Structure 1
C-alpha cells in the first residue's frame, strides 16, 4: 500500500493541488483499491467531489479490504457447496466463465481466500473472512 499512497499523493498534487486530503484517506483508498492504481485514482476523484471516503467505498460496493459484495457472494457460494467449478460460479453470478476468471477470481486468490485445484475451494482464511464480515468486524 505504501507505493500506492505515493502514487495517489503525486496524482493528487498534479490534478487537485488546492485540495487538502488527509493521510488516512490515502491509506483507506490504498487498502480498498485491489492493488490497482487506476481504481485508486477513481476513488480519489470520488473523494475530491464528495469529501466522504466511506461514501465512495460504499458506492463502489466495497465490503472490506477491497473485496466487493460480488466477491463475498462467490465465497459464500463456494463455501456452501464445498467447492465449485469455474462454470458453476460464473453461472451463479450470471456472467461468462472468462469474465469471472479474469475479473473476480484473481483478487480472491491474491488475498488467499480462494484456491484453485480441480475446483474452486475456499481457504481457511476465506472462511475466517466470512465470519468477520458476518460479525461486523
Structure 2
C-alpha cells in the first residue's frame, strides 16, 4: 500500500482559509483569565519524518488532558489517540507530541485532525478546553 501526498494547493488553501492552526477560545469558566496560553500545534506534519508538536504554557498548576480526534461529516467526534491522560502539571511551558498513530497503534489515515486540550485549574472547578486543527500527510 502506498501513501498519497496531499496536493500543495490543498495545504495552502487550508492555511489561507484559517482551517489549519486556528485556535478556538477556551470554553467553560471565566473569560478574563486563561489557564493555558500559547497553545500551538504543527499546522501540517509528515508522520513518517516527525511527530505533530503540541506546545502550551500553564499559568498555574493544572490537570491537563490532550486528545486527538477526527470530526466526521455528521459532526461526530471519534477519538484517534489519547496523547496524555488527565495529569497534574506544574506551571510553565510544556511540550507533547502525536506521532500520527490511531487507536490500534498503526498510522491513522492522512487528513485533518483536531487536537483537544483540557485544563482544570488546581483547587477549583475552573476548566478550559482548547482546539487546534492539524493536517497529517505522508510521502
Higher normalized strand content (fraction of residues): 2
TM-score range relative to shorter protein:
under 0.3
Length-normalised TM-score, structure 1: 0.22
Higher helix share: 1
